[in-house]
Amino acid sequence: MFRSILLIFFVVSCFFQTAEAQELRAQVTINAPKLQKVDPKVFKTLTTQITEFLNDRKWSDNTYKLEERIEMTVQINIDQELSDTRFTGQLLIQSSRPVYNSSYNSALLEWVDKDFTFDYVEYEALDFSDNQYFSNLTAVLGYYAYVVLGLDADTFSELGGDAYFQKAQNVVNYIPQNVDAIYPGWRPFTSQRNRYWLTENLLNVRMKGFRRAMYGYHLAGLDLISQDAAKGQAAVKKALDDIKKANNDYPATMIVQLFVNAKREEIISIFTPTDMKTRQEVFEVMSRLDGTNVEAYRKMLQ
């Protein structure tokens, strides 16, 4: 009896140690409304496997408590069956981080990858390494897991995401040559908005100012607003000014566009209560960073 109790204690202890070790809390959905050949239950199996792939794998040497796991959403919209085992569509990736002393989660990434083609046979193992290519499915998923971890780390320490972004770049480096004929999205010459350019932007020395601003925006800005609104708003405004400088040094980057897409409504909400001078200055900055959506920012000036 005593040995049985010890065994149960050991199993439970191992469970909680494992639970605390992982970094991601990903929710995965797969939509395949146009299926003609494949049994839809295949994608139920795949949904479970991707969820386990992201949530049960240890992506770093860091230890996370359950409540510290990074919120991530993965939505796969399958547009076409290229064969019984090859599919193409779009991949929606979202991630967020909690804001200190509030129930609000701030979006860090909202991105639709339109170049997503993958092969899958039901129940096949989802093998992955950042320095070895197994399949396009796991390469893409692992790549975005590292990007999400890196973006989150950048908001808690200056340039804290370096190791994760380098691992994401390793995934890019180990993609086989000429792969874009079947699996697009990895090469610089095919698009200015793809996986290659995302990590290129994040690791480019000209964008260190942007990444340092992400730290100031979140840790010195958003996390302080509930305690000292004026001080927090000032830190966010400084971060936006720094992002504008980085954008001047390296114009039209993918990462700045992703930033404004994720933060547009948040920025409007932060600065609408401020004085007109501050709102006007923020409006001018955002007009440069997010010119195609300038009308959205005019709400701050009313």
Give yes or no for residue 90 having a pLDDT over 60. Answer: yes
Residue 6 pLDDT grade (very low, low, confident, very high; cuts 50, 70, 90): very low
- The pLDDT, as a whole number, for residue 20 is 53
Predicted confidence (pLDDT) per residue in 126-176, tens digit: 999 999 999 999 999 999 999 999 999 999 999 999 999 999 999 999 999
Average pLDDT, the chain: 92
CA proximity to 267, closest of 292, 237, 241: 237
Q: How far apart are CA 79 and CA 89, in angstroms?
A: 5
- The pLDDT value recorded for residue 64 is 82
Q: Helix count (H) and strand count (E) of the chain? A: 11, 4
This prediction has a pTM of 0.92
Average pLDDT on 262-286 reads: 98
In sequence order, the β-bridge partners of residue 81 are: 87
Helix residue ranges, H only, the chain = 2-21, 41-56, 136-154, 162-173, 195-203, 208-215, 223-225, 229-249, 254-271, 276-289, 294-297
pLDDT at 148: 98
Beta-sheet strands, E only, within 120-236: none
Domain boundaries defined on the chain: 23-203, 209-301
Give the Cα separation of 109 and 94 in Å (integer).
Answer: 5
Among 7-21, 118-132, 209-223, 287-301, the range scoring the smallest mean pLDDT is 7-21
Single out the residue of 257, 62, 26 nearest to residue 144, CA to CA.
26
CB-facing half-sphere around the CA of 247: CA atoms within 13 A: 22
